[in-house]
Amino acid sequence: MGPFETTEACSQWKKEYELPFEVIPDKDGTIFKRLSNGWVPYSILVGPDGKVVLWESEFQEAGFVAAIEKFYQEAAHAPAQTQQPSTRAMPPRVGRASGANIVILGGGVGGLVAAHHLRRALSRRDSVILVDRSPNHLFQSSLLWHAVGLRRTSEIQRPLSDLTRKGIEFINEEVLEIDVSSRHVRTTLQMIEFDYLVVALGAQLRPGEVEGFGEMALNLYDLEGTRRIHTALNAFSGGTVGVLVTDMPFKCPAAPYEAALLVDSFLRKKGVRGRSEIHIYTPEHQPMPIAGPAMGGAIAGMLRTRDISYHPLFPFEKMNPREHTIVASGGEPQKVDLLLAVPPHRPPEVVRSSGLIGSSGWMETDPHTLATEHEGVYAIGDVNNIRLANGKNLPMAGVFAHSEAGIVAERIAAEIDGRTSEASFNGKGSCWLELGGGKAGFASGNFYAEPEPTVHLYPAGRPWHWGKVLFERWWLHHWF
């Protein structure tokens, strides 16, 4: 049981479900901190050999079922003698004479970078096709600036159709089916055959899973949501602002904390901070738990300095729009006048319906090559699941999608050329932490380090903020 439970509750749970084993509470949170990504795993599945094969920080029924089915399939086809899997050396699928068809699904960070690298590396006989249901690429890192009025909509997005000037074909349609056996993708209007496929569809935002979200909460993670946040902040004259993480995992782990700090700066400039409260509610036991206790402690300290109340271990249960409250499981309702929320993140429906999710509930890849179990099919960015040495998951962040895209592009190009590529994703990444008032922090580290990721947070200051501004300008100019 979780750290929220009492001995009496555990006994009742054992009795109610007639469990043959003991159920005990994790009173001091020792197990919780050791195992979790910031939340207690809902699902732990142990195989016949006693090894844990499914261990997830969020419940994904399809992934859990897939893991169980895999047991039966392996048992039915198990060889008489256990053999070690061999390393597959795949020959080029398509040579220069006929040209290869590379299809990239998703025009976010990973898809955009992969398309450019592939186009530069390949012959014009080879087709690079990018498919996205949105006509625009949105620079998501700037959404928080958009929320506090520091960016206009036109400044943080670009039309994906501009990629055609660089020899990348763009198809503005929704992906409805991925058939890896027949090597095609079905969209709303056509079938697209592929020799290589890069799935970069990201995580799907599902605010509709939370009853009352549309009535009460403003979405921190989409353009319309941040536009509404800016409107609401302009009209705000005082009261309680809540920043809520509804579920785990979620992309850009620093975003909720940056949002609170930027709102604090906005309200101070407006002159209403003195009659306002800012609260962060999250199921995490510390800010950005995967980055380690030093990082979490530093961010918590920044929040205290700004008089922002931090509520960790908040197992969100529901919203009550009529009462303007949010409720934790077994907790007291918390009153909020303005609620900024991180919606649940789920694997894209097309990935789920096409049978491409693994036992983790997400697409599973080789941690270094990003290859899936299907020949010529790769998954990069938030749609994939990479387990780290400490048993936790690589965070969902654009910096990783960027690096993964380059690795995948190099490996595909090498295979088409008949070369062998040693390109390997190394788990290194960095991010800015916006503090408001023209200041920012910066952190970088190696998430593949063993036994734990090593992450360093540099002292905050104005140069880091301007570094992020310059990166934003470079990004939107370089890729378009």
Tens digit of each residue's pLDDT (9 = 90 or more) over 124-151 = 999 999 999 999 999 999 999 999 999 9
Mean per-residue pLDDT, 54-73? 55
- Assess whether pLDDT exceeds 80 at residue 178: yes
Quick one: pLDDT band at residue 45, thresholds 50, 70, 90?
A: low
- Which residue is it, tokens 């030093």? 294
Lowest mean pLDDT among 50-64, 97-111, 432-446: 50-64
At 24 the pLDDT is 79
Lowest mean pLDDT among 96-100, 303-307, 445-449: 96-100
Own/partner pairs, 308-312, CB within 8 angstroms, 24+ separation: 308/260, 308/261, 308/264, 308/278, 308/279, 308/280, 309/277, 309/278, 309/279, 309/280, 310/279, 310/280, 311/279, 311/280, 311/281, 311/282, 312/282, 312/283, 312/284, 312/285, 312/286
At 97 the pLDDT is 44
Give every CB contact of residue 80 below 8 A, 6+ residues apart in sequence.
none
Same fold, 101-203+347-428 and 206-345: yes
The pTM (predicted TM-score) of the whole model is 0.83
- Assess whether pLDDT exceeds 80 at residue 215: yes
- Assess whether pLDDT exceeds 80 at residue 162: yes
- Assess whether pLDDT exceeds 70 at residue 91: no
The percent of residues above 70 in pLDDT, for the chain, comes to 83
What's the first-to-final CA gap in the chain, in angstroms?
50
- Write down the mean pLDDT value for the chain: 88
The percent of residues above 90 in pLDDT, for the chain, comes to 77
At 93 the pLDDT is 38
* Candidate CATH numbers 1.10.150.120, 1.10.1530.10, 3.50.50.60, 1.10.3720.10; the one for domain 101-203+347-428: 3.50.50.60
Which of 178, 445, 140 is CA-nearest to residue 295?
445
CA–CA dist 222, 433 (Å, integer) = 19
Mean per-residue pLDDT, 313-326? 95
Provide the residue ranges of all domains of the chain, joining segments of one domain with +. Answer: 7-74, 101-203+347-428, 206-345
At 71 the pLDDT is 56
Quick one: pLDDT band at residue 96, thresholds 50, 70, 90?
A: very low
What CATH architecture is 206-345?
A: 3-Layer(bba) Sandwich (3.50)
At 472 the pLDDT is 97
- Assess whether pLDDT exceeds 90 at residue 214: yes
Mean per-residue pLDDT, 113-130? 97
CA–CA dist 145, 230 (Å, integer) = 10
